[in-house]
Amino acid sequence: MFGKEQIAERFRQLQDDICRQLEAADGGGAFQEDLWQHHEGGGGRSRVIMGKTIEKGGVNFSAVTGMLPEVVASNMGIARAPFFAAGVSIVLHPHSPMAPIIHMNVRYFETGENRWWFGGGIDLTPHYVVPEDARYFHTRLKAVCDQFHPDFYPTFKKHADDYFFLKHRDETRGVGGIFFDYQDESKTGLPRERLFEFAAAVGETFAPTYVELLRRAEGRPWGEREKKWQMLRRGRYVEFNLVWDRGTKFGLETGGRTESILMSMPPAAHWAYNYRPEAGSPEAETLAWLRKGVDFLSETPSS
């Protein structure tokens, strides 16, 4: 019978597959694994790489059980009940400021009374926005979404614009991607098995897509100026994860493993008081892209 055990095992395999592809692309680093147990039940495998191309990256798998804390159940709008949650989460910070930060998460959640749903997504945070790369990234995401439902890409793309948004800065975290949550049969018309196939397909498109983006960035020169900008953009990434990210809050509020939850933090980041790039600079051009509603499938720099 299809259920949570099969979902958890597929997510374990997904973690293994992604780590193999990233190690090959890095060309020097290897993942270090840390096994851990949740205080109520289950546990996970945290894997971190500090390599030649990827300065710091984490690929985490978890499958945990427990009782939903009251505050979490209230935020979800459900009654307090036992829960099961499984998923894979990834954040990669490259050495080169010409290569992008990337995040991916796919997860399954169920509570009592036979309630279940899937969530996840992928979003891209370039230090310097390259429109051709953003177009490639969104083309890949649209292709996987279109295999399952014609409304998935436009709906989940808008969700990503709205979710990965620094309200206190009035800027998107990057060039967006797709974001979905609380997806079940009542919302999509798709059975659990089919939605699981979608979540797995999102996970499987991650590594080949990011490896191609790393390849494109290899020949782009950079120096001290670009590195300083990278540190400032990493600071924005930290701000989002600590202030707005629901996954971070959920993990901490349910007693998750702190080191695994905060593996998304970059190895170094800077903040400069009231920094404003000069008009017409590559940095200013990147900031101009960080807005909601950009159609990266067709929009050009002059749009």
Phi (first) and psi of residue 160, to 5 degrees: -65, -40
Q: Report how far residue 26's alpha carbon sits from residue 1's, in angstroms, rounded to the nearest whole number.
A: 39
Q: Report how far residue 159's alpha carbon sits from residue 57's, in angstroms, rounded to the nearest whole number.
A: 25
Q: Report how far residue 33's alpha carbon sits from residue 44's, in angstroms, rounded to the nearest whole number.
A: 10
Q: Are 232 and 274 in contact (CB under 8 A)?
A: no
103 is catalytic: yes
Q: Report how far residue 3's alpha carbon sits from residue 198's, in angstroms, rounded to the nearest whole number.
A: 16
Q: Which one-letter amino acid corresponds to residue 20?
A: R
Residues whose CB falls within 8 Å of the CB of residue 167, separated by 6 or more in sequence, listed in order? 244
Pairing mode of beta strands 32-37, 82-94 = unpaired
Structure token digits, residue 37: 């147990």
247 CB neighbour count, 10 Å cutoff: 18
**How far lies 40's CA from each of 108, 227, 260, in Å?**
18, 43, 17
Catalytic residue among 38, 93, 95, 103: 103
| Measured distance between the N- and C-terminal CA atoms of the chain, rounded to whole angstroms | 51
* Residue 275: DSSP 8-state: -
Q: Report how far residue 161's alpha carbon sits from residue 179's, in angstroms, rounded to the nearest whole number.
A: 8
Structure token digits, residue 135: 């177009």
287 CB neighbour count, 10 Å cutoff: 15
Structure token digits, residue 84: 């099961």
Give me the active site residues, please: 103
